[in-house]
Structure 1
Amino acid sequence: MLIVMNRLEGNVALITGGSRGIGAAVALRLAEEGADVVLTYENSAERATEVVEQIKARGRRALAIQADSAIPEALTAAVDEAAAMFGRLDILVNNAGVFLVGPLEDLGPAEIDRTLAVNVRAPFAASQAAVRHMGQGGRIISIGSNVAERAVFPGLALYSMSKTALVGMTKGLARELGPRGVTVNLVHPGPTDTDSNPADGPNAEVIAGFTAVGRYAETAEIAATVAHLASADGSYITGASIHIDGGFTA
């Protein structure tokens, strides 16, 4: 894959939930393009450390901060720490999420509260905190889901609702922050090969069959679009919901 080196030279990026999966791939791609990277993690300290070391091996500065995205104060503190440590903050990637599914009748207040806290309130809170440190050219990019638009299996109502909320947030913030030179966009990945949803999992063949191309995405394919939006090449894209889903929603 051709990578345009140094498009993000001098930038500082914060990725929530950046210790694994799509978040880790985004962290590494932004570092390869020249950004210094801060990532948050909830429990995966060892994996977060591995990502940090990989970023440093690419010649960039890196930091991992433990923060539960369900706690707004912890998330705000992480954003402020990142900006203080590296002297600026240019890019926020709202990646952390929870995937709680089940029949409507079985989803209690705890599941509902946790989903909305991490998938909806956290991106809003992180964006609030980040924009205080951003100037002209700032970027806010959230990671949504293909099921925000097409929920093909039962039991996805809560998760789909939480990811659909990001569409409204993205459009509203794009209007509000556009005059300040900050773009806000939403990336909807389709089936992606991660630990939690492996391309060789028990339901993978069925899930891949819903795409037009008949396969799962690699995390690097999602990261490539995030990197484009984060760079100057994406400066005229804002308020957009971009599907990287192999035609899942076609």
Structure 2
Amino acid sequence: MLKLEKLEVSYGSIKALHSIALEVKKGEIVALIGANGAGKSTTLRTISGLLKPSNKEGKIRFKDKEIQSVSPHKIVEMGLSHVPEGRRVFPDMSVYENLLMGAHSRKGKPDQTDFDRVYHHFPRLKERIKQMAGTLSGGEQQMLAMGRALMARPDLLLLDEPSMGLAPMLVEEIFHIIEDINVAGTTILLVEQNAHLALEISNRAYVLETGEIVLDGQAQDLAQNENIRKSYLGE
């Protein structure tokens, strides 16, 4: 479904990604783990069109079409949604209005089925549908950001640090919801600091260090890797 080849991204003279190659197959949850500053968010931002490759050889293929030169809103229309780090909900708009914004790029108005799908995964949002997004708790804002992305009916969902700043109990809840979204048919590429939970729910994973993929494989195998356990699992 998604394939990156020889992808390089620079911020001025500083190279953030070095010839990245990764693949996400339909139906998978694939984790991208690494320390702060490794280039994980840069990778997602480049996939979703917010950043552009700095080399001509760098390719991003989504559903067999090259998208490295496609504008972000067109990429959303193609079936790829991005939940950015830090949630970035519209604080002065209601929960309902935020969800409507998620369907903005689609042809035609969203129907009740779209809202019901979001409410199925996030029943708390239905309870707060008229509430201003800026008054929600951190966990509820994360749910809203994910729900807003689902309103676009994505085939592939990019999640950037969904557990950031959340209480442990809420982190568990968010990860169960991510699994449910995947089971319901959405493929997921997950960037997550909590490597233990990320590897637990993923099919495969890539390890990113200073802009380079240094290891990849089945998530269960990486979870047993001694270097991964020391570096990312706190063992």
Establish whether TM, by shorter chain, passes 0.5. Answer: no
TM-score under structure 1 length normalisation: 0.35
TM-score under structure 2 length normalisation: 0.37
Structure that is richer in helix per residue: 1
Structure that is richer in strand per residue: 2
